[in-house]
Structure 1
Amino acid sequence: MSDRGDGAGTDTAEHGQFRQLPPLRTDLTPIVEAIDAADADAFVAVGDRFDDDLRYLTRFCGPDRPYALVIVPDDGTAGRAICCAPSLFREQAEREFVAGTRDRSEGDDDGEFHDGEFHDGVAREVRTDRVGDHAGERAAAVVRGLLGSETDDSSETDDNTLLVPPSIPHDAAVYLERDGNALASTDAVATARARKTAAELDRLRRVQRAAVAGMARAEAVLAESEVGTDETESPALRWEGAPLTAERLRRAVNATLAARGVRDAGNTAIGAGPSATDRHCVGDNPVRPGETVLIDVSPRGPDGYYGDLTRTFVVDGDGGWERRAYLAVESARDVALDEIEPGVPAKAVHGEAAAELAAYGFDPNAGEGEAGFTHDTGHGVGVSRHESPSLSSGTELRPGHVVAIGPGVYDPDVGGVRLEDLVVVSEDGYEILAEYPFGIVPSERE
């Protein structure tokens, strides 16, 4: 299934019915303010539909080829933003980048956006001229027209300083520099993306609820499975008359996600036994009794926002290593959540989880492939599956930060246990965006 997020905002309701959501609107004033604070002249981003920074800034999700965004301060407004779109996508860009960011006129009840003011005061427009040029050249021409000479002779253009995201493509950077511009990297977009608006939280809750449905399907399949043998006569779980494999379980999860209107995006990772130590396992190994089955469901919704939910189960376990590991990880998750509140350094959340795992006898600083805790406790989630804030950083948590909290312990010879939930930092603590129960023995919860 493709990792493309389409449309202007649809999602499934509880019984599979779609309902229309208002378009997402990004406040571009923090970018204008970053330009002013850096004493720069403009901001430029270049990418395609897979560039999450650009998608966040424009809410333009269609083009399969590079396009550009130029933002400049403007004395008459809060700023100006020009989207250099491919000509075939002009109508979509006008709808998503321009019309969707206008306030409704009084009396409008048809769900459409007309000629109201731009919601953040930043005037937006779409340009489709010079479509044969590289997107970096098109951006340079816009900068030249807005800030310098209207001619194509870059020698007549005053030197400008342009803020750019760290991810700007090299060839685009070359075109901008050849036109007499100095480039300066900025983290303004990452900072703006980190704190979610109410509309973004709505999308995140919806996709996380779909992840919950996918997890419930996986747990039900495991609960329905019987202990039998595989084609080699080795002990294995059987489901619906055939050996249960990680791939069969993954397909069951992904079918549920699709029915809920979200895409698995290739992110449904299922490991069983030793393969559960692989945090992104997509193999087809048999699921055997007594082994940990680690299921990580991270779908992407129609507006590009991700969910993230992980649980671990054991069918017909003996209560040995996996039970001790489960208790340790569940306790580590609890103490990590207890640490979350505004003003707390993100790395303190990781530190508490690691200390709790150490108290249970697990190495809190294990390296990749070693037994113990081998990764950070969590990470930010939004239009990227991993974004700011990182829980290994000194960034202070703020209301609106959305983080996946997922401690885990692993043993290459046995398996792995991880428990992960998506939470938003609130004014006085946190909120779990979609609850899912705990228990190492699978039950039918659908």
Structure 2
Amino acid sequence: MSGDRPESDRHAPAESAGGLRPLRTDLAPVVEAVRAAGASAFVAVGDRFDDGLRYLTRFSGPDRPYALVVVPSGDEAAERVGRAVLCAPALFREQAEREFVDAARDPDADTAAGGGARFHDGVGREVRTEGLGDHAGERAAAVVEDIVGGAENGGGSETEAGNRTVLTPASIAHDAAVYLERAGNDLSSTDAVETVRARKTPAEVDRIRRVQRATLDGIARAEAVLAESEVVDGGADADPAGGDRRPPLRWQGEPLTTERLRREVNRVLAAGGVRDAGNTVIGAGPSAADLHYVGDDPIRPGETVLLDVSPRGPAGYYGDATRTFVVDGDGGWERRAYVAVEAAREAALDEVEPGVPAKTVHGEAAAELTAYGFDPNADEDEAGFTHGTGHGVGVSLHESPSLSGAGELRPGHVVTVEPGVYDPEVGGVRLEDLILVTDDGYEVLAEYPFGIVPTARGDRG
């Protein structure tokens, strides 16, 4: 993917003190989107839970709204292509200066001749704390008026108030939009941020790979617990839904449940420096057919145990992996489903390369499952394949691109490949890996073995 790296990332130091490339967002594409639309500025308003705003600013504070304003420079040929202003709460000013401004400075720039610090993408950054009693949208509108409507912009954008276009993400909050419009701005949504986020830089891949390794350590712990569990003899116990089911497995002298197993996974995730973020999905038997099961069920021999683990790392990036196991299975439905899903995974991966329509990957996985006799278009309450083959992963667990959506795969896309089949009365099987689309194919970001019978694999290191 080296040929597609942003100029700013190619000039970044190869390693930081922590062994990772510096994590910096290139705001130049946002500037280009504003220019291309004939607009005056870009504005985003949100809080620490807004993934797009966190991506743009690399600012991780507070849980109340703040705003980012990006304005092109008046001279397209100038060394500084634009300005970015973060409207932060005063109590967070030092953190904002460190994360938004200082982290984006070009360490190799000769600032003596340039009259001040230069930034890696040519977009100057500053933090403002004026108007603290005002809504973040109102503060952003004041910055737009100050820069675009004032002399600071060098006369390059002389649009009069009331006839000025401001680009915003489609998801901008209604109240922020109202304040911007009241200040005389016409709003137009843009997908520029979503498009830029979809293609990861090497620094972003560093973070995702590290979180993915911790994710697989969590799965390894769950697999070891299942391998150590004991099958209880003595016949079947009554199933409240009807029919007979075998007694639950026992681990360390107590019945093993999905909640006990989840706690073991989350303990390992925490030790690995990542947060489970409420995303440790474990189902057993019929609940393994629930795509997002976080309840408490007994884990019984002969039934599928589906583990879908998606933690978030300290820089905000997610990992995502799924494996399925059966303790003391009889080789029935679950074995046939596992073989089919493994084949579908391989068929999907065989299609991954730059330029391939994303839908092709999903189509090949679905075709393979059809060949094994599973419905490729099942609804969630039906038996078969009930979801897409994959989705992008980054600062959001689900982001562009979708392997069921429009568009083509490009170098830098990080996506899951996760075919699965389910039967609400029996269980579910899903296998999921996280891959990076490269210049000539793909790379699995962290490898983990396959096998339906759980094995204690020891310390993964």
The answer to whether the aligner puts 1:291 opposite 2:303 as a matched pair is yes
CA-to-aligned-CA distance 1:214-234 (integer Å, 9 cap, x gap): 010000000000012899785
Cα distance, 1:229–1:89 mapped onto 2, change above 3 Å? farther
Aligned to 2:5: none
Question: Per the alignment, in what secondary structure is the counterpart of residue 314 of structure 2?
Answer: coil
Aligned to 1:42: 41
Q: Partners of 1:421 and 1:251 in 2: how far apart? A: 22
The answer to whether the aligner puts 1:351 opposite 2:363 as a matched pair is yes
Aligned to 1:375: 387
Cα distance, 1:27–1:404 mapped onto 2, change above 3 Å? same
Question: Per the alignment, in what secondary structure is the counterpart of residue 130 of structure 1?
Answer: coil
1:191-230 equivalences under 5 Å are: 191-228=195-232
Q: Partners of 2:93 and 2:457 in 1: how far apart? A: 46
The answer to whether the aligner puts 1:120 opposite 2:132 as a matched pair is no
Aligned to 1:5: none
1:254-269 equivalences under 5 Å are: 254-269=266-281
Q: Partners of 2:233 and 2:204 in 1: how far apart? A: 46
In structure 2, runs of 5+ residues without a counterpart are 1-16, 111-115, 152-159, 239-245
Aligned to 1:15: none
Q: Partners of 2:179 and 2:341 in 1: how far apart? A: 50
In the superposition, the TM-score normalised over structure 2's length comes to 0.88
CA-to-aligned-CA distance 1:225-244 (integer Å, 9 cap, x gap): 00128997851100011000
In the superposition, the TM-score normalised over structure 1's length comes to 0.91
Aligned to 2:23: 24
Aligned to 1:186: 190
Query: Do 1:104 and 1:116's aligned partners in 2 also have CA atoms closer than 8 Å?
Result: no
CA-to-aligned-CA distance 1:118-143 (integer Å, 9 cap, x gap): 00000000001101110000001001
Question: Per the alignment, in what secondary structure is the counterpart of residue 228 of structure 1?
Answer: coil
1:64 CA displacement: 1.4
Query: Do 1:313 and 1:441's aligned partners in 2 also have CA atoms closer than 8 Å?
Result: yes
Question: Per the alignment, in what secondary structure is the counterpart of residue 63 of structure 1?
Answer: coil
Aligned to 2:341: 329
The answer to whether the aligner puts 1:132 opposite 2:128 as a matched pair is no
Aligned-partner residue type, residue 71 of structure 2:
V
Aligned-partner residue type, residue 247 of structure 2:
P
Q: Partners of 1:255 and 1:22 in 2: how far apart? A: 28
The answer to whether the aligner puts 1:58 opposite 2:57 as a matched pair is yes
Aligned-partner residue type, residue 79 of structure 1:
G
Query: Do 1:343 and 1:396's aligned partners in 2 also have CA atoms closer than 8 Å?
Result: yes
Question: Per the alignment, in what secondary structure is the counterpart of residue 339 of structure 1?
Answer: coil
CA-to-aligned-CA distance 1:236-284 (integer Å, 9 cap, x gap): 1000110000000000000000000000000000000000111110011
The alignment of Structure 1 onto Structure 2 pairs a total of residues equal to 418
Q: Partners of 1:199 and 1:148 in 2: how far apart? A: 37
Q: Partners of 2:90 and 2:163 in 1: how far apart? A: 30
1:103-118 equivalences under 5 Å are: 103-105=106-108, 116-118=117-119
Question: Per the alignment, in what secondary structure is the counterpart of residue 182 of structure 1?
Answer: strand
Q: Moved runs in structure 1, 4+ residues, more than 3 A?
A: 18-23, 229-234
CA-to-aligned-CA distance 1:92-143 (integer Å, 9 cap, x gap): 0000000000122589xxxxxxx74200000000001101110000001001
Aligned to 2:99: 96
The answer to whether the aligner puts 1:86 opposite 2:98 as a matched pair is no
Aligned to 1:418: 430
Aligned to 1:144: 145
Query: Do 2:162 and 2:186's aligned partners in 1 also have CA atoms closer than 8 Å?
Result: no
Q: Partners of 1:390 and 1:39 in 2: how far apart? A: 30
1:371 CA displacement: 0.3
Q: Partners of 1:201 and 1:135 in 2: how far apart? A: 32
Aligned-partner residue type, residue 60 of structure 1:
F
Question: Per the alignment, in what secondary structure is the counterpart of residue 164 of structure 1?
Answer: strand
In structure 1, runs of 5+ residues without a counterpart are 1-17, 108-114, 151-155
Q: 1:366 aligns with which of 370, 374, 378?
A: 378
Aligned to 1:394: 406
CA-to-aligned-CA distance 1:411-443 (integer Å, 9 cap, x gap): 011000000000000000000000000000000
Aligned to 2:242: none
Aligned-partner residue type, residue 31 of structure 2:
V
1:311-326 equivalences under 5 Å are: 311-326=323-338
Query: Do 1:236 and 1:288's aligned partners in 2 also have CA atoms closer than 8 Å?
Result: yes
Q: Partners of 1:387 and 1:21 in 2: how far apart? A: 23
1:146 CA displacement: 1.1
Query: Do 1:229 and 1:238's aligned partners in 2 also have CA atoms closer than 8 Å?
Result: no
Q: Partners of 1:116 and 1:238 in 2: how far apart? A: 62
Q: Partners of 2:357 and 2:336 in 1: how far apart? A: 29
CA-to-aligned-CA distance 1:134-172 (integer Å, 9 cap, x gap): 00000010011111269xxxxx73421011001111110
Aligned-partner residue type, residue 403 of structure 1:
V
Query: Do 1:229 and 1:243's aligned partners in 2 also have CA atoms closer than 8 Å?
Result: no
Q: Partners of 1:141 and 1:100 in 2: how far apart? A: 26
Q: Partners of 1:229 and 1:57 in 2: how far apart? A: 57
Question: Per the alignment, in what secondary structure is the counterpart of residue 95 of structure 1?
Answer: helix
Cα distance, 1:352–1:163 mapped onto 2, change above 3 Å? same
Query: Do 1:204 and 1:306's aligned partners in 2 also have CA atoms closer than 8 Å?
Result: yes
Identity %: 74
Question: Per the alignment, in what secondary structure is the counterpart of residue 248 of structure 2?
Answer: strand
Q: Partners of 2:83 and 2:333 in 1: how far apart? A: 59
Query: Do 2:21 and 2:206's aligned partners in 1 also have CA atoms closer than 8 Å?
Result: no
Between stretches 97-106 and 328-337, larger displacement belongs to 97-106
Query: Do 1:105 and 1:116's aligned partners in 2 also have CA atoms closer than 8 Å?
Result: no
Q: Partners of 2:109 and 2:45 in 1: how far apart? A: 36
Cα distance, 1:167–1:300 mapped onto 2, change above 3 Å? same
Q: Partners of 1:364 and 1:279 in 2: how far apart? A: 16
Q: 1:303 aligns with which of 300, 303, 315?
A: 315
Question: Per the alignment, in what secondary structure is the counterpart of residue 371 of structure 1?
Answer: coil
1:307 CA displacement: 0.3
